[in-house]
Every structure is written in C-alpha cells, then in structure tokens.
Structure 1
Amino acid sequence: MFQSYLKFRDHCRVCGANFKAADAGDGPAVFIILIVGAIVTPLLIILQFGTPLPDWLALTITMIAAIVLCLALLPPFKSVLFALQWKHKAREATNEDIQ
C-alpha cells in the first residue's frame, strides 16, 4: 500500500485500484497525539515522582518514547483511515455537492 514511509502508491499492485486521490489528511496524526499523550504523560509522572532519576533524564526518556511511538503508530493509523475512506467512498467536498 505504501511506496515509502507515509506515501501511498499511485496504484494497487494487486487489483490496480487508483490511489492517487488517497488522502487521510490530519486524522491519523490527531489520533496518534491523543493515544501517545495518554501513554507518555503517566510515564513522565511515574519517572519524575516515583524514581530517583534526574528531571532531565526522565524528560529525555519520555520524549524518546513519544517519538518512537508516534513514528511506529502513524503508518498503521494512516492505512486504517484510508481503508475506511475507501470503503465508504469518502471524498473531498466540492461546490457541486453543495448545490
């Protein structure tokens, strides 16, 4: 489905479907921010108040965890949102849709 890390292929290699209009927009990023924030916030609190680590180390560990989680979760979430758009034939609204 992907040509590179987050770029969709122009066509499906199996069925030949046209993916040129594929655009999941900012939806995946919003979900990732909410999920990763819910995971790393308690992690930071635990590391700062539950362990004798220096603040800079706790923050560094938390930031690395946040970056790794974001980079790992973004492609699957983008795929899922694209699949939902494809299934429900969602597309960008145009002026013709308003009339």
Structure 2
Amino acid sequence: MPQNNQTPKGRPPIARAALFGLCPQCGAQTLFEGPAKFASHCRVCSLDFQSYNVGDGPAAFLTLIVGALIVVAALVVDSAFAPPFWLHIILWVPLTVGAVVYGLRVGKAALLASEHQRKAAEGRLSDD
C-alpha cells in the first residue's frame, strides 16, 4: 500500500468499494451476483473473490444495530402519530429487510476490500 495514503489507479477506496459493490482491484461493479452473495470472480479483471474469507461476520452485529434503530424509530412514530398496527407492518417490515440486506452488502464488501488492500492471509510460522 502506498505510503501517502493514495490508492493506485483503478483501485477504489474501501468506502467506495463497499457502498457501490466495486471490485477492490479494478473498480468495476462486479462484486455481487445476488442481493448479498458475492460473485465467484470479477468479470473484468478475473480477481477470485472466493479466496477471501469474509464469511457472515457482519450479519449478527448488523442485525442487532438495524433492529435497535428500527425499534426506536417505530416507538417514536407510534408515540407521535399513533398509526394503526397494519401500517406499522407495512412500513417497518420492508424497511427492516432492506436495511439488513443493504447493510450486509456494505459490511461484507468492506471486509473483502480491506482484506484485498491489506493483502490479508492466514498466519504462518517463521522458520527462524
């Protein structure tokens, strides 16, 4: 990684790669093939995304954060406007699903881009 904190040409910063699902090597929008599922490789530069170990690390943490925010928002809306229960369901269920899926995309993409830029690998014992 360059010392002056600039990313090489074609390589997007971690935040941009995470928000837009960009390949961490070439910057093409090829990281995902489903709502929160990585593609097997980049269709432009052939970077193998399966070699990175992102897993579902952000899933539980993100679900707790989104759940807390949605519950607080629902309580505020309920106390301010007192809408009927069916309106809560129509409003909060799709909002929760959308926030969790988009959050998973961003979280998983950030971990993959971070692993790629820092050349993360399994630990090895030295032969000293």
Q: Report the TM-score when normalising by structure 2.
A: 0.56
Structure 2: give runs of 5+ residues left out of the alignment: 1-30
Partner of 1:61: 91
Aligned length: 95
Structure 2: how far apart are the matches of 1:65 and 1:11?
30
| Alpha-carbon offset, residue 60 of structure 1 | 4.3
Higher share in helix: 1
Matched letter for residue 54 of structure 2: A
RMSD of aligned alpha carbons: 2.6
Displacement, 1:83?
0.7
Determine helix, strand or coil for the equivalent of 1:53.
coil
- Corresponding position: 1:78 with 2:108: yes
1:3 aligns with 2:33: yes
SS of match in other structure, 2:50: coil
d(CA) in 1 for partners of 2:40, 2:92: 37
Aligned to 1:88: 118
Cα distance in 1 for partners of 2:112, 2:71 equals: 29
Superposition deviation, residue 91 in structure 1: 4.0
1:59 Cα deviation (Å)?
A: 4.4
| Partner Cα distance (2:77, 2:122) in 1 | 44
Does 2:63 match 1:24? Answer: no
* Alpha-carbon offset, residue 9 of structure 1: 2.9
Provide structure 1 residue ranges, at least 5 long, that are not aligned to the other structure. none
Residue identity matched to 2:76: I
Alpha carbons of 1:24 and 1:45: their partners in 2 closer, same or farther (altered >3 Å)?
same
